């Protein structure tokens, strides 16, 4: 008969015994343009001494999938082997280890593969979802229609907006940044005409403008009732964003290319942003995402997770305040056909809800099945 643990003792956390990876590259059903016709998922599988297994992933739409996999295989896996499988302590130790190679970017993208696997492991050992483990606060979250559509013709863009309306979306986002601002204005006007005056309309310039160009664009586009202007300037240009926000008639959103809690703190403390959009993979996983969310909450800054709706949707349900989950048309893992099982979330009536799965619920097909 096994003796019960002594009162007041802390259960021993099993140690990590190994990490394996595999790279999946999948063509997008709707190309994001010549520079991004496919997405890359680096699937991670983590093992512990008690026989536990956790599943996670890293992701990049364009740059560096092989570099991310190499970091995981050659630098991260040997370092974390033997560490207690605690997500937050592993993240902190690993970030200190990798910081010499860069505090964010490829390093944090790679770290996400470990962090997600650790949270998946912890939740499945508790026989619950990661959302429940973290504390579910919302029954559902609103989904907005999004598209990487700057290369679309006007007719194609209008047709996409019509599909979003038919799907019941109450908010949509389109790309701007054409060489001629008049063309941007024509496209925004056409989408506003399709969606009507009551739906939210957001625009994303993907760092295509400098500060004078942004102010010129706002003079023309702000009259279309914009919910936010996303990433008009280079992502690192803190001073320019501070000047922009001070004079912009439209809320400023950014964050998909901000990779650390420290950098989000810089933008928030500089009063350079209204809405932050952390990408859970690019910041390094669930552990730093939660820290960034708390930083935003204490400074009354709204959080709108960037991309990856099947992951962002799960974390959105843990937030204290309702948020919008971005769903780029036909680009979810389920729609791309790379999941070996059902999606961990369900989409319907422009809402995302949790499916009945333990852990994060991401199991990916073998590349030979794609």
CATH for 251:
3.20.20.120
- Please identify, among 101, 125, 149, the residue that sits at the C-terminal boundary of a domain: 125
> Do 112 and 230 fall within a single domain?
no
Give residue 121's pLDDT.
98
Q: Is the residue at 5 inside a domain?
A: no
Give residue 7's pLDDT.
54
In this prediction, residue 368 has a pLDDT band, given cuts at 50, 70 and 90, of: low
Determine which of 6-15, 50-59, 199-208, 251-260 has the lowest per-residue pLDDT on average.
Answer: 6-15
Q: Is the residue at 82 inside a domain?
A: yes
Q: Is the residue at 26 inside a domain?
A: yes
Virtual torsion, Cα 57, 60, 365, 71, nearest 10 deg: -50
Give residue 3's pLDDT.
47
- Can 175 be counted among the known catalytic residues? yes
Give residue 1's pLDDT.
42
> Do 186 and 38 fall within a single domain?
no
User: For residue 201, how far is the Cα from the chain centroid?
Assistant: 20
* Token pair of 39 as six digits: 């997405």
Q: Where are the alpha helices (DSSP H) in the chain?
A: 65-70, 77-80, 87-98, 106-125, 130-134, 154-167, 181-195, 211-221, 238-247, 261-269, 286-298, 309-316, 333-336
Closest CA to 203 of 140, 212, 181: 181
> Do 115 and 200 fall within a single domain?
no
Q: Is the residue at 370 inside a domain?
A: no
Contact 42, 76 (CB under 8 A): no
pLDDT in tens, 146-156: 999 999 999 99
Q: Is the residue at 9 inside a domain?
A: no
User: For residue 130, how far is the Cα from the chain centroid?
Assistant: 16
Q: Is the residue at 10 inside a domain?
A: no
What is the pairing mode between strands 351-354 and 345-348? antiparallel
Give residue 370's pLDDT.
57
The burial of 196, by beta-carbon neighbours within 10 Å (0-12 exposed, 13-18 middle, 19 or more buried), is given as exposed
- Please identify, among 85, 104, 125, the residue that sits at the C-terminal boundary of a domain: 125
> Do 191 and 151 fall within a single domain?
yes
Determine which of 65-74, 301-310, 359-368 has the lowest per-residue pLDDT on average.
Answer: 359-368
Strand, coil or helix: what is 255?
coil
Strand, coil or helix: what is 14?
coil
Closest CA to 331 of 171, 147, 70: 147
> Do 196 and 120 fall within a single domain?
no
> Do 146 and 100 fall within a single domain?
no
Give residue 9's pLDDT.
55
pLDDT in tens, 7-43: 555 568 999 999 999 999 999 999 999 888 999 999 9
| 4 pLDDT above the threshold of 60 | no
> Do 77 and 170 fall within a single domain?
no
Distances (CA, A) of 341 to 58, 133, 355: 18, 21, 12
> Do 48 and 99 fall within a single domain?
yes
HEC-encoded secondary structure of 165-213: HHHCCCEEEEECCCCCHHHHHHHHHHHHHHHCCCCEEEEECCCCCCHHH
> Do 103 and 141 fall within a single domain?
no
- Under the phi-then-psi rule, with left for phi > 0, alpha for psi from -120 to 50, and beta for the rest, what region is 63? beta
In this prediction, residue 173 has a pLDDT band, given cuts at 50, 70 and 90, of: very high
> Do 216 and 333 fall within a single domain?
yes
User: For residue 40, how far is the Cα from the chain centroid?
Assistant: 14
- Rounded to an integer, the average pLDDT of 109-113 is 98
Residue predicted with more confidence, 97 or 10: 97
| 217 pLDDT above the threshold of 80 | yes
Q: Please tell me the total count of domains within the chain.
A: 2
Q: Is the residue at 225 inside a domain?
A: yes
Give residue 35's pLDDT.
86
> Do 95 and 217 fall within a single domain?
no
Give residue 369's pLDDT.
57
Give residue 123's pLDDT.
98
Give residue 8's pLDDT.
56
| 350 pLDDT above the threshold of 60 | yes
Which residue out of 40, 47, 69, 306 is catalytically annotated?
306
Range of the domain at 204: 132-365
Q: Is the residue at 4 inside a domain?
A: no
pLDDT in tens, 243-284: 999 999 999 999 999 999 999 999 999 999 999 999 999 999
Cα distance between residue 251 and residue 168, in whole Å: 24
The domain spanning residue 78 has which CATH number?
3.30.390.10
In this prediction, residue 356 has a pLDDT band, given cuts at 50, 70 and 90, of: confident
Which residue out of 40, 169, 175, 259 is catalytically annotated?
175
> Do 34 and 174 fall within a single domain?
no
| 158 pLDDT above the threshold of 80 | yes
Contact 351, 143 (CB under 8 A): yes
Give residue 2's pLDDT.
42
- Please identify, among 125, 140, 156, the residue that sits at the C-terminal boundary of a domain: 125
- Rounded to an integer, the average pLDDT of 222-233 is 98
Q: Where are the alpha helices (DSSP H) in 277-368?
A: 286-298, 309-316, 333-336
């Amino acid at each position: 008969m096994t003796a019960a643990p002594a009162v007041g003792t802390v259960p021993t956390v099993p140690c990590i015994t190994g990490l394996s990876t595999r790279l999946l590259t999948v063509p997008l059903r709707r190309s994001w343009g010549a520079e991004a016709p496919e997405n890359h998922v680096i699937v991670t599988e983590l093992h512990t001494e008690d026989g536990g297994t956790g599943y996670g992933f890293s992701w990049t739409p364009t740059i560096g999938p092989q570099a991310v996999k190499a970091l995981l295989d050659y630098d991260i896996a040997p370092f974390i082997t033997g560490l207690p499988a605690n997500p937050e302590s592993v993240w902190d130790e690993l970030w200190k280890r990798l910081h010499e190679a860069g505090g964010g970017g490829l390093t944090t993208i790679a770290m996400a593969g470990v962090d997600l696997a650790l949270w998946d492991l912890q939740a499945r050992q508790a026989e619950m979802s990661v959302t429940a483990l973290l504390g579910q606060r919302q029954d559902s979250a609103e989904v907005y229609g999004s598209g990487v559509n700057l290369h679309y013709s006007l007719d194609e863009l209008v047709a996409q907006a019509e599909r979003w309306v038919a799907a019941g979306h109450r908010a949509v986002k389109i790309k701007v940044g054409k060489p001629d601002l008049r063309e941007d204005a024509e496209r925004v006007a056409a989408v506003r005409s399709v969606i009507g005056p009551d739906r939210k309309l957001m625009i994303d310039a993907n760092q295509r403008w400098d500060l004078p160009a942004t102010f010129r664009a706002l003079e023309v586009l702000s009259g279309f009732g914009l919910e936010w202007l996303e990433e008009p300037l280079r992502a690192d240009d803190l001073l320019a964003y501070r000047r922009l926000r001070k004079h912009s008639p439209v809320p400023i959103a950014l964050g998909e290319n901000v990779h650390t809690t420290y950098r989000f703190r810089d933008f928030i403390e500089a009063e350079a942003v209204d809405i932050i959009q952390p990408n859970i993979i690019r910041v390094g996983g669930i552990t730093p995402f939660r820290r960034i969310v708390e930083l935003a909450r204490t400074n009354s800054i709204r959080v709108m997770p960037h991309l990856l709706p099947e992951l962002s949707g799960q974390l959105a349900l843990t937030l204290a305040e309702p948020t919008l989950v971005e769903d780029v048309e036909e680009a979810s893992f389920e729609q791309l056909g790379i999941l070996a099982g059902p999606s961990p979330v369900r989409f319907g009536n422009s809402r995302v809800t949790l499916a009945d799965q333990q852990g994060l619920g991401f199991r990916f097909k073998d590349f030979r099945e794609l």
